[in-house]
Amino acid sequence: MEKQYFEANTMLEIAAQHAYAAEYLLQRNAEVTFDDNTTIDALLPVTSLLHLSFELTLKAFLIHEHRPVRKHLKLIELIELNEHLGLSRKDIELINMLSRVQAFRKGVDYVLWENREQLQGFCEQALTLYSRLHDVIPVELQREYQPIA
């Protein structure tokens, strides 16, 4: 079995798909209703989708700069490696908070919000930051710049 590494453009496409899925869920109050009318809360899956979107986007930026990432890095480490993006302190804190939300993967919960609405508001802020991150995408990685296949 041969391992193939993604190019920056492919990683950005995958990141965008995750972000679109998160946005779709948020537009539906982050709830999924099944045929038998049972409803599940999808806010934690939204945070996972957003986390992956940021992670893949930041890795794509590094790959574009010929600095491939071959090992697992935390989101904050990827931010530090992309310091030239000029993210504000508030943006970096939001990304740190997104990492803390993902601590459930390690069996840890930082009690960050008093209610579901606060978490939903946070997810919307993270999605807005993700959209703004696309304002600094190098022109070579922008969709309009890509050759038509």
| Domain chopping of the chain, boundaries | 8-138
Only one residue has tokens 């986390």, namely 51
Q: How confident is the model at residue 145 (pLDDT cuts 50, 70, 90)?
A: low
pLDDT at 128: 96
Q: What is the pLDDT of residue 60?
A: 93
pLDDT tens digits along 6-41? 899 999 999 999 999 999 999 999 888 888 888 889
Least confident piece of the model among 26-30, 47-51, 118-122, 140-144: 140-144
CA distance 47 to 85: 22
| pLDDT value, residue 144 | 62
CATH topology of domain 8-138: Four Helix Bundle (Hemerythrin (Met), subunit A) (1.20.120)
pTM here is: 0.88
- Output Rg (C-alpha) for the chain, integer angstroms: 16
pLDDT band at 55 (very low <50, low <70, confident <90, very high): very high
In the predicted structure, residue 89 carries a pLDDT above the cut 70:
yes
The one-letter amino acid at 33: T
CA 7 to each of CA 4, 99, 135: distance values in angstroms, whole numbers, following the listed order: 9, 25, 20
Assess contact for 79 and 59: CB atoms under 8 A. no
